[in-house]
Amino acid sequence: DSGVTQTPKHLITATGQRVTLRCSPRSGDLSVYWYQQSLDQGLQFLIQYYNGEERAKGNILERFSAQQFPDLHSELNLSSLELGDSALYFCASSLMGSGANVLTFGAGSRLTVL
């Protein structure tokens, strides 16, 4: 157990639907990152939050949004889902927002869009 908790672990839904993925960072970590990993693909950085504020934005679609709450947990909202959104979504956390810091990854949420 890495200390980063992601729910749900698996999710199957239909095109056009909306889902919310949840992440609780490791205790003491202030920064949360969201990544998308499609089958046999590398990691695509979506967005980063640090202590409740958006710190950096990557290749996140307009249909996707995220936020980090005062208790530091984060949610990634995916709407108007398409088949191509099927992927493994990872949340990671770190102590600092920048600088030398190691990311601790959660187990991921596997999303299947049918």
**Contact footprint for another protein (CB under 8 A):** 2, 42-43, 45, 48, 55-56, 90, 92, 98-100, 102-108
- Please check whether residue 4 is in contact with residue 92, taking contact to mean a CB–CB distance below 8 angstroms: yes
- Which single residue is written with the structure tokens 């089958």? 39
Cβ-based nearer residue to another protein, 61 or 88? 88
Cβ-based nearer residue to another protein, 79 or 86? 86
- The residues pairing with 35 across neighbouring beta strands, listed in sequence order, are 45, 90
CB 42, min distance to another protein, A: 4
Distances (CA, A) of 17 to 45, 70, 108: 22, 27, 20
CB 72, min distance to another protein, A: 19
